[in-house]
Structure 1
Amino acid sequence: MMVERKRDEGEAMAMNGPRQEGEAEAAAAPATAVTGEKGEGERDDGERADGEERKEESEEEEEEEEKKDKVELEEWSELRLAIAELSPISRRGGKLCSSPPTLPFLGLSHLLLRLLDKIGPTMAVLRLDVQRNIERLQELYLQDPSKYSTLTAMVEKETDDGTVRKADSCARAILWLTRSMDFSVALLQRLEEEEEEGSDQQSLAQLVEAAYKVSLKPWHGWISSAACKIALKLIPERAIFVGWLMGENQSYSLPKLEIEKLVQLLQPFLDDIHAMLAKFKLDRLKST
């Protein structure tokens, strides 16, 4: 019997290999799965898995926030963007500001470009002029942002250089951008007045023409006037334009309160700029 038992143990050793030191103790120890305790390696794996899961959740939350921000930005109307641009500008004691700030003016000028884009390709000539004027101001501003933080500083610089009345001067760029914003205000006011009176609505082309006559036409020569007259014939439908003003996913009713607020903020700002230009005798310049 002893011989057979030894033979059986030898066969087992041949099949499974010699038992390593400590295996007997491991076999005798209770299984961790039974006791519910985890070994050190298992804890590390679990912590690593938890960390990866938390990282994935964090990334998903960031993606959701980005999507939410994008949707909110898309839903912001152009009117609200303009109001946000103007809101930080304060007027002290009701007096005109002799040094209108440059950056808000540039921000509004970029919104003006978008306004012209929505009116349609018929405004391509005016849009090109606006774009060039913006680039001219940006170029000078970036040379020394602290020095040219106001429009007045730009005009003073060109006055000292003797270039203030040149066709490609920043002073002329400021003048024509301001007049283009006058046009925008006139157009918005006509949209608001029509809604308030409840009269038969005019087409967008009629409203644009009326705004043009009181804001830009007095300063345009016959070439510019002729170009604008042709452009008026290809302006899009009024509903499309109003929808763009309101932003995506918004009501198509006219945003009367937003127009009023924008005009209240924008008109004094434009008045400040006109007063500054008049000080340098630049407010009566005309185009060809």
Structure 2
Amino acid sequence: MMVERERDEGEAMAVNRPRQEGEGAEAAAAPAPGPAGTGEKVEGQRDDGERDDGEERKEKSEEEDEAEEKKDKVELEEWSEIRLAIAELSPISRRGGKLCTSPPTLPFLGLSHLLLQLLDKIGPTMAVLRLDVQRNIERLQELYLQDPSKYSTLTAMVEKEADDGTVRKADSCARAILWLTRSMDFTVALLQRLEKEEEEEEEEGSDQQSLAQLVEDAYKVSLKPWHGWISSAACKIALKLIPERAIFVGWLMGENQSYSLLKVEIEKLVQLLQPFLDDIHAMLAKFKLDRLKST
């Protein structure tokens, strides 16, 4: 009994004695007891002022996704057919505007698809020309996919048909290359006239030519010399349904772009595209295909 009494008195003294300096801080810093009284932190429990790592990572990931989405949207709005064409041509050009190799097939097909988009912007009035362009693209794609390595250049395609004796046939890839190239000649002529007309109006305040007039002028120097009376008649009818010039220019500029920037890009595109087309014309001339006409 004496032993138990002494122990009780000792415990009472320990409970009631004054705390030593620093002892309260240590107690405050000690972790709250867990369910088993082990002092472990309960799952999900946070100390004051401490952020949960999982929640912080989640918020950061959401912010990054939102920023990436905005960036993609801005880049998409800033792209235009002209910028895409410049991107297609830039890797294959070199100083002086000459190509590093024989005219490559893939960039030519990429430019041809952009030509379709340009014709779509002019409107349904260009449906006949657009259909011809689409068929010619499909013809080249079909041969290219048979052996992408072998037909990586336009010259290889024409040489294959020359060896087969089919190079001058109506459905040959050589003719498809010829007419796609002439359609791009039309595009260059139209963009040059459009840029020149806008510049003259800014300097002199002269009257505007309609888009129909500009398209007709471009057609006369690019496609008309090679069209027969059927094709010429179809194009003549198409010219009557072309949209207003201001609308067309707005489509070319796209979002978040000024006309001054469009003018610079047109000049850059022509600088890259014209040597490319010249090389293709020279290649076709070697096979005596450059003077072929349609009906």
TM-score class normalised by the smaller sequence: 0.7 to 0.9
Moved more, 187-196 or 224-233: 187-196
Q: Secondary structure at the match of 2:47?
A: helix
Residues 30 and 161 (structure 1), Cα distance of their counterparts in 2 relative to 1, 3 Å cut: closer
TM-score relative to the length of structure 1: 0.80
Q: CA deviation at 1:53?
A: 4.4
Count of residues paired in the alignment = 287
Q: Secondary structure at the match of 2:247?
A: helix
Q: Report if the CA contact (8 A) 1:118-1:244 is conserved.
A: yes
Residues 203 and 41 (structure 1), Cα distance of their counterparts in 2 relative to 1, 3 Å cut: closer
Q: CA deviation at 1:38?
A: 2.7
Q: CA deviation at 1:29?
A: 10
Residues 17 and 67 (structure 1), Cα distance of their counterparts in 2 relative to 1, 3 Å cut: farther
Moved more, 63-72 or 204-213: 63-72
**Within-5 A mapping of 1:33-52:** 38-39=41-42, 42=45, 50-52=53-55
In structure 2, what is the Cα distance between the partners aligned to 1:73 and 1:25? 59
Deviations 1:152-201 (A, max 9, x none): 00101111111111111111110000000000000011116666665322
Q: Report if the CA contact (8 A) 1:195-1:254 is conserved.
A: no
* Gaps in structure 2 of 5+ consecutive residues: none
Q: CA deviation at 1:258?
A: 1.5
Residues 279 and 40 (structure 1), Cα distance of their counterparts in 2 relative to 1, 3 Å cut: same
Partner of 1:200: 207
In structure 2, what is the Cα distance between the partners aligned to 1:93 and 1:55? 52
Residues 163 and 56 (structure 1), Cα distance of their counterparts in 2 relative to 1, 3 Å cut: farther
Q: Secondary structure at the match of 1:34?
A: coil
Residues 112 and 13 (structure 1), Cα distance of their counterparts in 2 relative to 1, 3 Å cut: farther
Residues 74 and 40 (structure 1), Cα distance of their counterparts in 2 relative to 1, 3 Å cut: closer
Q: Secondary structure at the match of 2:45?
A: helix
Residues 18 and 91 (structure 1), Cα distance of their counterparts in 2 relative to 1, 3 Å cut: closer
Partner of 2:113: 110
In structure 2, what is the Cα distance between the partners aligned to 1:46 and 1:87? 55
Q: Report if the CA contact (8 A) 1:80-1:258 is conserved.
A: yes
* Gaps in structure 1 of 5+ consecutive residues: none
Root mean square deviation, CA, Å: 6.6
Moved more, 66-75 or 171-180: 66-75
Q: CA deviation at 1:63?
A: 3.9
Deviations 1:109-143 (A, max 9, x none): 11100100000100011111111111111111111
In structure 2, what is the Cα distance between the partners aligned to 1:254 and 1:30? 64
Residues 253 and 94 (structure 1), Cα distance of their counterparts in 2 relative to 1, 3 Å cut: closer
Q: CA deviation at 1:97?
A: 6.5
In structure 1, what is the Cα distance between the partners aligned to 2:188 and 2:102? 21
Moved more, 58-67 or 203-212: 58-67
Q: CA deviation at 1:70?
A: 2.5
Q: CA deviation at 1:17?
A: 35
Moved more, 6-15 or 204-213: 6-15
In structure 1, what is the Cα distance between the partners aligned to 2:151 and 2:53? 54
Q: Report if the CA contact (8 A) 1:13-1:19 is conserved.
A: no
Q: Report if the CA contact (8 A) 1:78-1:244 is conserved.
A: no
Moved more, 217-226 or 257-266: 257-266
Residues 26 and 133 (structure 1), Cα distance of their counterparts in 2 relative to 1, 3 Å cut: same
Residues 38 and 257 (structure 1), Cα distance of their counterparts in 2 relative to 1, 3 Å cut: same
Q: Report if the CA contact (8 A) 1:274-1:283 is conserved.
A: yes
Q: Report if the CA contact (8 A) 2:46-2:52 is conserved.
A: no
Moved more, 59-68 or 46-55: 46-55
Percent identity, aligned pairs only, is 94
In structure 2, what is the Cα distance between the partners aligned to 1:120 and 1:113? 11
Moved more, 134-143 or 263-272: 134-143
Residues 224 and 43 (structure 1), Cα distance of their counterparts in 2 relative to 1, 3 Å cut: same
Q: Report if the CA contact (8 A) 1:97-1:272 is conserved.
A: no
Moved more, 169-178 or 190-199: 190-199
Moved more, 5-14 or 59-68: 5-14
In structure 1, what is the Cα distance between the partners aligned to 2:2 and 2:22? 26
Residues 93 and 206 (structure 1), Cα distance of their counterparts in 2 relative to 1, 3 Å cut: closer
Moved more, 228-237 or 44-53: 44-53
**For 1:90, which of 61, 68, 93 is the aligned residue?**
93
Moved more, 22-31 or 144-153: 22-31
Q: CA deviation at 1:6?
A: 24
Residues 184 and 36 (structure 1), Cα distance of their counterparts in 2 relative to 1, 3 Å cut: farther
Q: Report if the CA contact (8 A) 1:154-1:171 is conserved.
A: yes
Q: Report if the CA contact (8 A) 1:242-1:254 is conserved.
A: no
Q: Report if the CA contact (8 A) 1:133-1:174 is conserved.
A: yes
